[in-house]
Structure 1
Amino acid sequence: MNRSKDKLTQGIDWPILGLYLALVIIGLLAIFAAEYREGDNVIQNILHLQKNYSRQLMWFGISIILASVIWLTDSKFFTATANLAYVFGIILLLLVLAIGKDVKGSHSWISVGGFQFQPAELTKLFTNLALAKYLSSLETDFSKLRSRVIAAAIAMLPACIIVLQSETGLALVYLSFFLVMYREGLPGVLLIIAFSAIILVLSALLVDKNILFGIFTVAAAIVIYFSRYEIKRKRSRLAVIISVWAFCSIFVMFVVPFIFTKVLKDYQVRRIEVMLGKENDPKATYNTRQSMIAIGSGGLFGKGYLKGTQTRFDFVPEQSTDFIFCTIGEDFGFIGSLVFLGLYITLLFRIIFIAERQRSTFSRVYAYGVASIIFFHVAINIAMTIGLAPVIGIPLPLISYGGSSLMTFTMLIFIMLRLDADRQMVLR
């Protein structure tokens, strides 16, 4: 019997399992703290699924069943069905456009019986599998432009469909797959260009466009002056400088205004303006202000579990979902928040360690995909709650209330554990 038990748990990465359970338990306690009120009949609420913490407990039970099934599945199954799962995910996303349900302004939910689930969450898993399958294919030469375009298309196709569902936040998470591609050989200059574009957008929103045009022109003139001797020897250098100047000028003068007036919706523009401090409407800034007040009120050591006044008196909106970090910050303070973030950092480094010890490209790419997805969720969610990012509705992994999110992250992690346990099988 002991041999059978040893065989069942053979190869499992216990640190990852421990971190997973720790985060889920913290999530359950945080959701409970956000919803519990004196006089509540906790047992009755759990039995009748009347509160989010009781429903999250149910989703956790279902997630454990899914994790067990994944652990008992041969790892070859995931490589064999990766493309089929991706196609299924795309079909689900298209189905949402036809029969989806609106929830809080997002047309990204499907109702089945008495439950709702969000295919955009599940499709992250399918996309990660498909990208790992493509990059591990013997026919894929990622040094070539064609392969890079195909990989980018695999990542961005579901994101584009999700944008049509008015779920911009989850669509942005699909950008995390470019970090995976960078690990596999995507030129670093593309990431530099991407970050430069972000800086240009922020500059265009914070500084008058005519002033920016003047700054670009002066900067280009200075570069040309100090490079005049090199330009005489190599005329193409002048063309590069002028091209960069023209691109930056056109981008801030025409492209950014067009995006913010013709492409983005009013509520999306307001969220970005709130983040930049350009929105003075109290209603538009309410969520962020209350979130920051709750976290700040926790001080160094926090008010204590179940003693957070901002949380318990419903000042913080969506406090068991998007703003769950406020509960942790208020109850446990700066020190507790650091310890909490330390769990995520440890999890991410452990996943990267697992990724680097893989023998197959498929397993390595998949593990890096898991790390990238979790990193994006954590970074954006916490930045959102402290006013450094617009409120775009991204859950905190394994912490925020939500069955779709909890089950998706559970499957992401346990498929990685299954692949890692079978890493001696070289698939490529």
Structure 2
Amino acid sequence: RQIKRNRTILIRIVFFWFVCVGIQRFAVPYVFENVLQKHQIERIYDLFGKSNPYIEKDPALTKAEAKKQKESGSSYNVRQSKIAIGSGRVFGKGVLKATQTRYDFVPEQRTDFIFCTVGEGFGFVGSFILLGLYLLLLFRIVTVAERQRSTFSRCYAYGVAGVLFFHIAINIGMTVGLAPVIGIPLPFISYGGTSLLTFTIMLFILIRLDADRQMVLR
């Protein structure tokens, strides 16, 4: 009976694998051809270090125009961001001596690519301290979530932690070339009143829920 059960599980796994491969084989080309826009496709190819065939095969572009578009796309932002972070080394150049960010070689350095400003100005030490502060904040939010008596408060706290983690991981990942460029701000650091106000309100609500947790029955 155990052998028959294991065989059934194995058959299900193989069947599920073939279904996933079939979906990937037909769904991915359809999404690339009909759903994604050109700049989104370009960002995906840049992430894996591949040339974008949709630009190279575009009959409306000459070779020079295709090359210029390729060099000035999202890959340019990521390259300049990597140069800025790498040039900061261990202790950084200092805010006034950060050439890549101070002379605007990195586009959107105050919003989406602000982490490279930290990396160049304060180096590995400054970046490590910033990541440590983020991890401390996430750990504190999870700790608050664990002591909530209300299911809503617990789910809300975990949701806040998830949103913050997603923004931090994607933003830092795209500045170092580990994630596609999608324009996500770095919480509490990126320039922009809307994102700062949103994250602050989320934390204020969490603090209020935690303050009233003793009044909530199990």
TM bucket, shorter chain: 0.7 to 0.9
Residue 288 of structure 1 contacts residue 386 of structure 1 at CA under 8 Å; is this kept in 2?
yes
The aligned counterpart of 1:374 is 164
Q: In structure 2, what is the Cα distance between the partners aligned to 1:341 and 1:234?
A: 45
From 320, 336, 361, the counterpart of 2:126: 336
Quickly say closer, same or farther: Cα 1:313–1:240, change in 2 above 3 A.
same
Q: In structure 2, what is the Cα distance between the partners aligned to 1:269 and 1:301?
A: 36
The aligned counterpart of 1:254 is 26
CA drift at 1:363? 1.2
User: Aligned residues: percent identity?
Assistant: 64
Match for 2:41: what amino acid? Answer: V
How many equivalent pairs are there? 200
Match for 2:48: what amino acid? Answer: L
The aligned counterpart of 2:199 is 409
CA drift at 1:427? 5.3
Structure 2 unmatched runs, 5+: 53-69
Q: In structure 1, what is the Cα distance between the partners aligned to 2:6 and 2:125?
A: 57
Q: In structure 2, what is the Cα distance between the partners aligned to 1:356 and 1:237?
A: 36
Residue 363 of structure 1 contacts residue 419 of structure 1 at CA under 8 Å; is this kept in 2?
yes
Match for 2:91: what amino acid? Answer: F
From 103, 123, 137, the counterpart of 1:313: 103
Alignment deviations for residues 201-248 of structure 1 (CA, whole Å, 9 cap, x no partner): xxxxxxxxxxxxxxxxxxxxxxxxxxxx97767763464144123213
Alignment deviations for residues 127-173 of structure 1 (CA, whole Å, 9 cap, x no partner): xxxxxxxxxxxxxxxxxxxxxxxxxxxxxxxxxxxxxxxxxxxxxxx
Match for 1:278: what amino acid? Answer: K
1:87-126 mapped onto 2 (5 Å cutoff): none
The aligned counterpart of 2:71 is 282
Alignment deviations for residues 281-319 of structure 1 (CA, whole Å, 9 cap, x no partner): 222210110111111110110001222100110000001
The aligned counterpart of 1:59 is none
The aligned counterpart of 1:351 is 141
SS at match of 2:96: coil
Q: In structure 2, what is the Cα distance between the partners aligned to 1:324 and 1:367?
A: 26
1:422 aligns with 2:212: yes
1:236 aligns with 2:8: yes
Residue 291 of structure 1 contacts residue 323 of structure 1 at CA under 8 Å; is this kept in 2?
yes
SS at match of 1:306: helix
Quickly say closer, same or farther: Cα 1:426–1:261, change in 2 above 3 A.
same
From 108, 112, 124, the counterpart of 1:322: 112
1:390 aligns with 2:162: no
CA drift at 1:403? 1.1
Q: In structure 1, what is the Cα distance between the partners aligned to 2:3 and 2:40?
A: 44
Quickly say closer, same or farther: Cα 1:241–1:421, change in 2 above 3 A.
closer
Alignment deviations for residues 53-112 of structure 1 (CA, whole Å, 9 cap, x no partner): xxxxxxxxxxxxxxxxxxxxxxxxxxxxxxxxxxxxxxxxxxxxxxxxxxxxxxxxxxxx
Q: In structure 2, what is the Cα distance between the partners aligned to 1:327 and 1:235?
A: 56
Match for 1:265: what amino acid? Answer: Q
The aligned counterpart of 2:82 is 292
Q: Any runs of at least 4 consecutive aligned residues in structure 1 with deviations exceeding 4 A, and if so which?
A: 229-235
Quickly say closer, same or farther: Cα 1:347–1:232, change in 2 above 3 A.
closer
1:156-171 mapped onto 2 (5 Å cutoff): none
Match for 2:186: what amino acid? Answer: L
1:273 aligns with 2:63: no
Q: In structure 1, what is the Cα distance between the partners aligned to 2:9 and 2:85?
A: 51
Q: In structure 2, what is the Cα distance between the partners aligned to 1:230 and 1:282?
A: 59
Alignment deviations for residues 383-426 of structure 1 (CA, whole Å, 9 cap, x no partner): 00000001000000011011110100000001101111111011
SS at match of 1:401: coil
Give me the TM-score of the superposition, normalised by structure 1. Answer: 0.45
Quickly say closer, same or farther: Cα 1:278–1:426, change in 2 above 3 A.
same
Quickly say closer, same or farther: Cα 1:324–1:236, change in 2 above 3 A.
same
Quickly say closer, same or farther: Cα 1:420–1:236, change in 2 above 3 A.
same
Give me the TM-score of the superposition, normalised by structure 2. Answer: 0.86
SS at match of 1:333: helix
Residue 231 of structure 1 contacts residue 237 of structure 1 at CA under 8 Å; is this kept in 2?
no
